[in-house]
Structure 1
Amino acid sequence: MTLEERKQQAETRIFKAVFPNTTNHYDTLFGGTAMHLMDEVAFITATRFSRLRMVTVSSDKIDFKKPIPAGTIIELIGKVSYIGNTSLKVNVVIYVEQMYSNEREKAVVGEFTFVAINEKKEPITIL
């Protein structure tokens, strides 16, 4: 399998409904909850690409472009954006959709860096 095929196969998409228990006093998704979901999708993407033990080492700039109201559906999409020797980066985008219309907007964008590790928790090569 080519590198590009592996990247495409590792793409991860998860849908969630935004319920009131995940929102703040403005009735929008907590930023921390969004970051948690993004890191989870990024981890799954990194693991699906490498099929190795992966750990998050950093979250790069995360841009909150639109608030995500309660009562909406979100889609999180993770894609491998960079591959190094022992690390890789995963770009994650959250789209917000209205439940009862076709409206869809990009709400949050971020990038996460992962390192592959062995049983001793030491970095190992990815490819």
Structure 2
Amino acid sequence: MEAKPCIDSLTVKSSHVLPPDTNSHGTLFGGKLMAHIDDVAAIAAVRHARKPVVTASTDSVDFLQPVFEGDTICLEAFVTWTHNTSMEVFVKATTENLLTGERKVCTTAFLSMVAVDEKNEPSPVPGVYPESDEEKWLHENAQKRHEHRKNRRKESKELAEKFGTSLPWKRDC
């Protein structure tokens, strides 16, 4: 497979923040923002791999700025790095007050997406190469983030095995 530039997977999605999207503070639900992040990352990953994908992990999501009712949320995503069947996708979310035009980055995140075949088995993906300075900056540390995710996943599996399906303080859930 021939490697592709990061920009080929660029995906941009904007949404108007409406009352059902907000909490009692009048700001966007964190889970709603996370759903937008997962959606735009999946589109970018499919655009790169041209195969169905599943989300393998989401790195920490820090809510840097509130997103208010009436604002828009604009998400940009692209594949920054690949490894066999997985892709790292960078997502930046920006909020805009439509009345003033003020824009702020409200969150950034990295997601790992895995391409799958018709049997839902992991499937190889093309490589990716950076062109812009920003893409190169993200690409440089991608292997380190990948190793960190791999270690975190191992710890998560250990926790799952230790605690199993029941909670120690309540056995009948």
Q: Shorter-chain TM-score category?
A: over 0.9
Counterparts in 2 of 1:14-93, with a 5 A limit?
Answer: 14-93=13-92
TM-score (structure 1 length as normaliser): 0.93
Question: How far apart, in 2, do the equivalents of 1:35 and 1:87 lie?
Answer: 20
Between Structure 1 and Structure 2, which shows a larger proportion of helix residues?
2
Question: How far apart, in 2, do the equivalents of 1:42 and 1:2 lie?
Answer: 19
State the identity %: 34
Two-structure CA RMSD over aligned residues (Å): 1.2
Question: How far apart, in 1, do the equivalents of 2:107 and 2:98 lie?
Answer: 18
What is the CA-CA distance between 1:2 and the residue it aligns to? 5.4
- Count matched residues: 125
> Structure 1 residue 3 and structure 2 residue 4: aligned?
yes
Q: For residues 70-98 of structure 1, give each alpha carbon's deviation from its aligned partner in whole angstroms, at most 9, with x where no partner exists.
A: 11011110111211111001111110011
5+ residue gaps, structure 1: none
What is the CA-CA distance between 1:61 and the residue it aligns to? 1.3
Between Structure 1 and Structure 2, which shows a larger proportion of strand residues?
1
5+ residue gaps, structure 2: 127-173
2:98 corresponding residue in structure 1: 99
Question: How far apart, in 2, do the equivalents of 1:15 and 1:117 lie?
Answer: 27
